[in-house]
Chain A
């Protein structure tokens, strides 16, 4: 079975902190994604990557950056966390056109 793991299920940070969300997949997928999920807004794509060291902006990249130094790992970085970044963050990897999701990280920014 494909496994996508995220470093934390719950995270509480303060405004202005730098936040790292880590995602690791074990199936050698080239494609990896970061989404955020908010009530009433569904899933919104933040960034995605098709290969190591490659990244592309999704629909809402502002306030975020990403890093893909190794194929299995895709990190989401909040350079300076703000309260409007309180959300559920979902990482996913993909072998083709469908996604395998991690369990999600619920981030609260105080």
Chain B
């Protein structure tokens, strides 16, 4: 079965520290992968997407993600986080059945 697994439900980090949010997927076919961000009391916003081409994808707000086919991973990274990055982050996968499958989310909390 196709699925997306976010390995950490919560990630606390200090301001200006680097962060990595982990995402693994399972699929036997071509993949399209996404990261979305949800700020408190808002809808989700597309952070970045991998459709094809370069495995390193850059998104908004200084985030980037790397597609690793051999490890079936799509981890999200930022070299230095800011208080405003406090949010919930969702990894998602586009399936051939034309439905988008979401991971369970990772809550990123930034400590000053």
Question: What is the size, in residues, of chain B's interface with A at 8 Å between Cβ atoms?
Answer: 20
With an 8 A cutoff between CB atoms, is B83 at the interface?
no
Contacts of A100 in B (CB 8 A): 46
Are B94 and A103 in contact, with the CB atoms below 8 A?
A: no
Q: Give the interface residue-count category, chain A.
A: 20 to 34
Interface residues of B (CB under 8 A from A): 32, 34, 36, 41-46, 49, 51, 90, 94, 98-100, 102-105
Further contacts, 4 of them, CB under 8 A, given A98-B46, A99-B36, A101-B45: A42-B90, A90-B43, A97-B32, A97-B51
Interface residues of A (CB under 8 A from B): 4, 31, 33, 40-43, 45, 48, 50, 58, 90, 92, 94, 97-104
**Cβ contacts A to B, 12 pairs, < 8 Å:** A4-B43, A31-B98, A42-B102, A42-B103, A43-B102, A45-B99, A45-B100, A58-B99, A92-B44, A97-B49, A97-B100, A100-B46
